[in-house]
Amino acid sequence: MSGEAMIDQWYPVGLISQLLAKGRQTLLMGETIYVSCNAVGKAIVTTSDGRDLPVTERYGHVWSSLGLPAAPLFDIPEAEQPGRRLVDVGVVRVRCSPLRAVENFLDIAHFPFVHTDILGAEPHTEVENYKVEIREDADEVWATQVKFYQPQAARSASGGITTEYMYRVPAPTCSILYKTCPPRPSEWDVITLFVQPLTEELCDVWPWMALFDDETPMTDLIHFQQMIFLQDRSILENQIPRRLPLDPGMEIPTRADLTSVAYRRWLKRHAFTYGAQLVAQ
Amino acid sequence: MQKDFSAAWTPVALSADLPVAYVIPARIETADVAVWRAEDGTVSAVADRCPHRGMRLSHGFVRGEALSCIYHGWRYGKTGHCLAIPAHPGLRPPEAIRVTVYRVAERDGVIWVSATEEPGEAPAHEGFTGLRSITLSATAETLAGCLNSALRHGTIDWKIDEMKARLLTTPSSEEGILLAHLLIEAGATQSQKRSASIALEALRRAAEAAVKQGEAA
Amino acid sequence: MILYDYILSPGCYKARLMAALTGLELTLRAVDFHPGAEHRGPELLALNPAGSIPILVDGDLVLTESAAILVYISGKAAPAWLGNGQPATNARIQQWLSFSARLTASLGGARLHEMLHRPGDIVALRAAGVTALRELEAALFEQRLKNEAFLVTDRPTIADIACFPYVALAPDGGVSLDAYPSIRLWMRAVRSLEGFIEMPGIHRLHELKPDPHGLPSSSEAVEE
């Protein structure tokens, strides 16, 4: 299996709120696993041959690994802030590489065409320069000072605004977006994409959010995010090749794609290649 | 002796099924292609893949004389060169950003695509016009067999109620599925066209049943 | 008029689309269908024992079944969508409303299976979907022969709205629409209608608007 290095990562495998004693069968990197809970509701994840896998419960989700994660799951400090609404958006399955799913989440140039009149609209298609770095201490990809004009950026926005973003990749199939929070301009709304790799070309996407929004009903918050993700799904299922090319040549980035370029470089550096393809293959 | 170039051409679609400012997915032997008609009526065929992030161009949209990718709106002209990148509106994309372009011919209501550099004339079907395209889970041989007719370079002659008809077959983009274009006599009446469509449906039922029987045997 | 609605439900979308096309105002009450299964919770079961959405409430009237909701919305706001009142037209519309239930079961079932983990026999669901699509393709082809762009007559009716969403979203369930040229042309006709609104999985037709930028003149490099 390619992407051996990815085997020791944490991956989302279910919602804490939907844990059942009788369990649920799913796939993790090609292996069948079972997600259930014990008598006191604590999550248990096992393989078909009864092996217990590492488990952690955070950010509304159950996380597991086929290997041995070297560290606990990454931190999202904003998630602990009082007053935050924590939103389980609900899983969506997509026939694409888990890495393609993450890369799409990092991209903003598609907003006017795919999330038309919501996250972007013609003629406001320009992507201004922004900052990207691989933060060596945390070993994470970060994009900052990202800006984009949006007709309806969030449920809590009442018209067009220029939204500011930061993007963060703390793990190969997880991405965290920090965006302008209309009710509290000095804070960031946090929107995440936690991706479960079922196979190299099939994944379950578990979006999650930590927002400052006391007005909007929870269901509307869920639906807004589901709407955005579902608009991306038909794009993700029609990218060729399915696996993310990590070597230059097949695909041509521009300056608007700095985050994706850094993400691909970071994946390659770590040999995070489950769901990727290299020229040599 | 004239060399038969007909094998270089694939009948991908019917003219009537490709109106102005429209794009469709199609398949030739060596590639998936996006076939599109510009505002001025010209048909073009390009590799069905945007070189930016690999998105299928057949999901895109046609404005004026260019085909744009649905993902980030990259615009391609008839030569396959990228004309504009909406994320950078003032900047001209370099020559290197382009999609492979294929040869196109349109005649007798049929659109042909070739990957060959100089494919010669596309096959002629004098007196015929394209009517309807269907796909079916059967081989061209089975189809020809159902009609007791010969199969020549994917073409099968047919008669529907004394009217001449012809089937052009080619592999579809789906494994094991055949694409068949029905041509009928130019000048056929609306009633004859309807009968031909119904006959085509009956033929498909017969061919697919024959395949099932063959499988059961 | 209140619509109990789920943004990803093609059935609910039929109601939202009909309202948009006819200019009728709907108050949307979002139902947490997924992941919350709210449609099967006590409040909604009391309103609709079938446990389904959409549900339309207008005063004392409670309507379930998307076809019925289409009849009501168009009857109230734009009766031309119900056809010309001739027996044959009424019957043909009815035929397609009945047919649309097969699209929901097959293509809709495949979509729920592929996208939202709902159990089902995906092979059988897709095969039933293809059977239905072939019938729809044949009918739309014959309409084109008569120079009619829609299912019943030359103008759209609720028959088109009843069939459109599940067909347009067939690829969500792994059923490609490449094989159906007449269906794809009809989908474009529906998506080009004045007042048309999208749902997630159905993109805007960007070709309907001209390119807002001219062609660029600077040859400065765009690459990274």
pLDDT digits (tens, 9 = 90+) for C157-199: 999 999 999 999 999 999 999 999 999 999 999 999 999 999 9
Q: Are residues C97 and C144 in the same domain?
A: yes
Residue A91 contacts C, CB cutoff 8 Å: yes
C31 touches chain A (CB under 8 A): yes
Q: Do residue B93 and residue C222 have CB atoms under 8 angstroms apart?
A: yes
Residues C73 and C97 in one domain: no
Residues C87 and C184 in one domain: yes
Nearest to C7 among A15, A114, A227 (CB): A227
Contact at 8 Å (CB) between A204 and A198? yes
Angle between helices C122-145 and C87-103 (to 10 degrees): 150
Same domain, residue pair C204 and C154:
yes
Residues 6+ apart with CB under 8 A from C213: A123, A125, B84, B86, B89
For position A281, what pLDDT does the model report?
44
- A15 vs chain B: nearest CA distance in angstroms? 31
Phi, psi angles (nearest 5°) of residue A180: -45, 130
Give the pLDDT band of residue B2 (cuts 50, 70, 90).
very low
- Indicate the residue among C81, C112, C141 that finishes a domain: C81
- Minimal Cα distance from C206: which residue of B? B61
| Element of type H or E holding C70 | helix C66-77
Compute the count of residue pairs across chains A and C with CB atoms less than 8 Å apart: 86
Sort out which chain C residues have CB atoms less than 8 A from A94's CB and list them: 115
- Clarify whether residues C37 and C88 are in a common domain: no
Chain-chain contact of C200 with A254 (C-beta, under 8 angstroms): no
DSSP B4-54: --GGG-EEEEEGGGS-TTEEEEEEETTEEEEEEE-TTS-EEEEESS-TTT-
A254 and B87: CB-CB below 8 Å? yes
Q: Where are the alpha helices (DSSP H) in A40-191?
A: 98-105, 111-114
Residues C70, C89: one domain?
A: no
CB spacing of A109 vs B89 below 8 angstroms: no
Cα–Cα dist A61/A196, whole Å = 11
The mean pLDDT value for A145-162 works out to: 79
Q: What ipTM does the predicted assembly reach?
A: 0.95
| C174 in reach of chain A (CB within 8 A) | yes
Using the predicted structure, report yes or no on whether residue B6 has a pLDDT greater than 80.
no
Domain ranges in chain B with CATH number 2.102.10.10: 6-114
CA distance A101 to chain B (A): 12
Cβ–Cβ < 8 Å for A201, A275: yes
Tell me which residue in A126, A252, A255 faces B51 most closely, judged by beta carbons. A252
Q: What is the C-alpha to C-alpha distance for residues B138 and B214, in angstroms, rounded to an integer?
A: 11
What CATH number has the domain spanning B128-216?
A: 3.30.70
Residue C180 belongs to domain with CATH number: 1.20.1050.10
Verify that C18 and C93 share a domain, yes or no: no
**Percentage with pLDDT > 70 across chain B:** 97
Does C222 lie at the interface with B, CB-CB under 8 angstroms? Answer: yes
What number is the average pLDDT over the span A161-184?
93
Last residue of a domain, one of C62, C81, C100: C81
| A145 min Cα distance to partner chain B (Å) | 16
Q: How confident is the model over C91-119, as a mean pLDDT?
A: 98
pLDDT, tens digit, 9 for 90 and up, residues A37-46: 999 999 999 9
Domain end, chosen from C47, C81, C115, is at: C81
Select from C3, C6, C7 the residue whose CB has the most chain A CBs within 10 Å, as the one to mutate to test that interface.
C7
CATH (one of 3.20.20.70, 3.10.129.10, 3.40.50.300, 2.102.10.10) for B6-114: 2.102.10.10
pLDDT digits (tens, 9 = 90+) for B7-66: 899 999 999 999 999 999 999 999 999 999 999 999 999 999 999 999 999 999 999 999
**Residue B59 bridge partners (DSSP):** none
B168-215 per-position pLDDT tens digit: 999 999 989 999 999 999 999 999 999 999 999 999 999 999 999 988
Name which of A125, A220, A230 is nearest C200 (Cβ-Cβ).
A230
pLDDT-derived band at B3 (thresholds 50, 70, 90) equals: very low
Q: Supply φ then ψ for residue C187, to 5 degrees.
A: -60, -40
Question: Do C148 and C166 fall within a single domain?
Answer: yes
Q: Tell which of A97, A99, A113 to mutate to test the B interface (max B CBs under 10 Å).
A: A113
| C181 with B14: Cβ contact below 8 A | yes
Q: Is the Cβ pair B17, C220 closer than 8 Å? A: no
Identify the contact set of chain A against chain B, taking CB-CB distances under 8 A.
103, 107, 109-110, 112-114, 122-123, 125-127, 234-235, 238-241, 245, 250-256, 260
Whole-angstrom CA distances from A39 to C79, C96, C167 are: 58, 51, 45
A251 → closest Cβ in B32, B52, B85: B52
- C208 and C101 in a single domain? The answer is yes
Q: Do B72 and A250 touch (CB under 8 A)?
A: no
pLDDT value at residue A183:
85
Tell me, yes or no, whether C177 and C213 share the same domain: yes
Cα C175 from chain centre: 16
Cβ-contact A193, A102 below 8 angstroms: yes
Residue A67 CB-density burial (10 A; 0-12 exposed, 13-18 middle, 19+ buried): middle
* CA distance to partner chain A, nearest, from residue B58 (Å): 10
* pLDDT level of residue C213 (50, 70, 90 thresholds): confident
B32 neighbourhood in chain A, CB within 8 Å:
240
B132, B135, B172: residue with CB nearest C141: B132
Per-residue pLDDT at C216: 76
**Mean pLDDT value of segment C75-79:** 97
Mutate which: A125, A201, A257, A260, vs B, most B CBs within 10 A: A125
Min distance B169 CA to chain C CA atoms (Å): 14
C88 and C74 together in one domain: no
Mean pLDDT on B121-143 = 96
Other CB atoms closer than 10 Å to residue B163's CB: what's the count?
17
Which CATH number does the domain housing residue C19 bear? 3.40.30.10
Determine the Cα–Cα distance for residues B172 and B175; give it in Å rounded to an integer: 7
Contact A231, C8 (CB under 8 A): no
- Tell me the per-residue pLDDT of A213-233, one tens digit each, with 9 for 90 and over: 999 999 999 999 999 999 999
A187 by DSSP, 3-state: which? coil
- Interface test mutation site (partner C, options A96, A222, A232, A239, max chain C beta carbons within 10 A): A222
Percent of chain A with pLDDT over 90: 88
Smallest CA–CA distance from A16 into chain C, residue = C35
DSSP line for C2-59: EEEE-TT-HHHHHHHHHHHHHT---EEEE---TTT-GGGSHHHHHH-TT--S-EEEET
In chain B, list all ranges with CATH 3.30.70.
128-216
Domain count, chain C: 2
C105 and C178 co-located in one domain: yes
At A226 the pLDDT is 97
Q: Find the domain containing C10 and state its range.
A: 2-81
Interface test with B, best of A108, A238, A263 (most B CBs within 10 A): A238
Order of strands, edge to edge, in the sheet holding B155-160? B128-136, B178-185, B163-171, B155-160, B151-152
Q: Which residues of B touch C219 (CB under 8 A)?
A: 91-92, 94
